[in-house]
Structure 1
């Protein structure tokens, strides 16, 4: 189920809303000239949402960034923070679950988080064009 702000206004507005709830200031930059398919947009939203929750809970950061852009046939997401680092795929179910979800749709999930920080996490999803059904809000799973 997509949040209403994502369905109505897209990733920029939805990610800005999520970022406003983070315990540290987050700079959000979304550079997209069009919206991806609803399924891809939803995965991107929930990925960033979970990563910002991790920033709030674990990083001890003073600030964070979210960048989203398209490169050819891929949607790229980078979430970074200036915290203590040490995030790992094998550190619990959260990061591994994100990596598994992205892999299921031919995506990638890369964690760069040395002890002492900073942390940069890159997620890559296949770009799929938005269809008329997506625009009308009648996609399966809505």
Structure 2
């Protein structure tokens, strides 16, 4: 696990991020046959970035059940993004973005804004 954050996001965003990573790691343990997995968390401008990778068999799909598609829908509901890259034979990388809100609940200024 690698976390590169100066500040913590708002509790609601942090909770969504935790749930997302937890669900993705559960998918790794249940389905991927991976020997290793990694988690990265960082901020990029006004976005909280999450990435979960594994060295498993790949083949994960958004239309393969409710797991991945449910995560994508939950992130979309809060203006987030969910990107799945999982070719047959692996590896699998899931990158998720959430809007950054600070602990006071205010949105981050876009990059370059004064």
Q: Scaled by the length of structure 1, what TM-score is found?
A: 0.73
Q: CA deviation at 1:105?
A: 0.3
Q: CA deviation at 1:131?
A: 1.7
Determine the structure 1 residue equivalent to 2:85.
Answer: 112
Determine the structure 2 residue equivalent to 1:90.
Answer: 63
Determine the structure 1 residue equivalent to 2:30.
Answer: 57
Determine the structure 2 residue equivalent to 1:101.
Answer: 74
Task: Choose from 87, 102, 105 the match for 1:129.
Answer: 102
Q: Secondary structure at the match of 2:27?
A: helix
Q: CA deviation at 1:100?
A: 0.2
Determine the structure 2 residue equivalent to 1:33.
Answer: 6
Distance of 2:74 and 2:32 partners within structure 1: 22
Greater RCO, 1 or 2 (C-alpha within 8 Å, sep 6+): 2
Distance of 1:33 and 1:75 partners within structure 2: 12
Moved over 6 A (4+): none
Q: Secondary structure at the match of 1:42?
A: helix
Distance of 1:88 and 1:76 partners within structure 2: 21
Distance of 2:41 and 2:97 partners within structure 1: 10
Q: Scaled by the length of structure 2, what TM-score is found?
A: 0.91
Q: Secondary structure at the match of 1:46?
A: helix
Correspondence 1:69 to 2:69: no
What is the number of residues matched between the two proteins? 105
